[in-house]
Amino acid sequence: MSSKTRLILHDLRPGDAAAVLPAQSEECLLFAAYPAVRYCVGCYGCWTKTPGKCVIRDRGADMAGMMPKCGEFIILSRLVFGGLSPDIKAVMDRSIGFVLPFFRIVKGEMHHVPRVEHPPDLRYVFYGADMTEREKETAKALAKANSINLASGRSEIQFFPTFRDCKEVLK
């Protein structure tokens, strides 16, 4: 993987993913959040037992190691209450080993110290019917907060009515 590599974390079902996402390649890695990985139990083992990696042994433990090796990290998620879908959130919660347990001050607030020197840019691609303006505003606030907490230099956000409409921006 290199800084040119894109990593797409998505919550699509296999048939839908094949129809919408680019093929997996050296430049484009795919991570399916469905079927769901086990949920984070808040043990902090990824900071104090096996630093950088979740202690729960399923594929959800792989994401924290993949994120820092790509230049752009794209999250394709159904918009749920203005945030990530449960399948995507389960993967993200299991990936906090991506940052260190230690703290620093950013823009006057306490945040985690990044584990790596060059965290990837973040792009959120949300899909869903009947999004409210309030939900979109929540998602924008979430992307902004995540970009600070995941120490990303840049974050983008896009909204589409269906996952099929996302195909063009994921090419």
Partner 1 sequence: MKVAIINGSPKLRESASQLLAEAVQKKLGNQTECAICSPIGPEGSEILKKIEGANALVFVFPLYIDGLPSHLLRFLDESLQDISDKASGAMVYSIVNNGFFEGRQNAVAFEIMRNFADKAGLKWGQGIGVGGGGMLRSVGIGRGPLKKVGNTLDLLSKNIINARSAQNYTVDPDFPRALYIAVAHLSWRASARKNKVNSKQMLVKP
Cα 121 to Cα 75, 153, 156, 171, distances in angstroms: 11, 6, 8, 17
Q: Are 17 and 32 a contacting pair, CB within 8 Å?
A: yes
Closest approach of Cβ 171 to partner 1, in Å? Answer: 28
Nearest-angstrom CA–CA distance, 52 and 32: 20
One of 29, 71, 82, 158 touching partner 1 (CB under 8 A) = 82
CA distance 73 to 95: 13
- Which CB atom, from 11 or from 72, has the smaller least distance to partner 1? 11
Interacting residue with partner 1 among 20, 76, 92, 166 (CB under 8 A): 92
Residues in contact with partner 1 by CB under 8 A are 36, 39-42, 44, 47-49, 51-53, 64-65, 68-69, 80-86, 89-90, 92-93, 96, 100-103, 109-111, 115-116, 132, 134-135, 137-138, 141-142, 145-146, 149-150
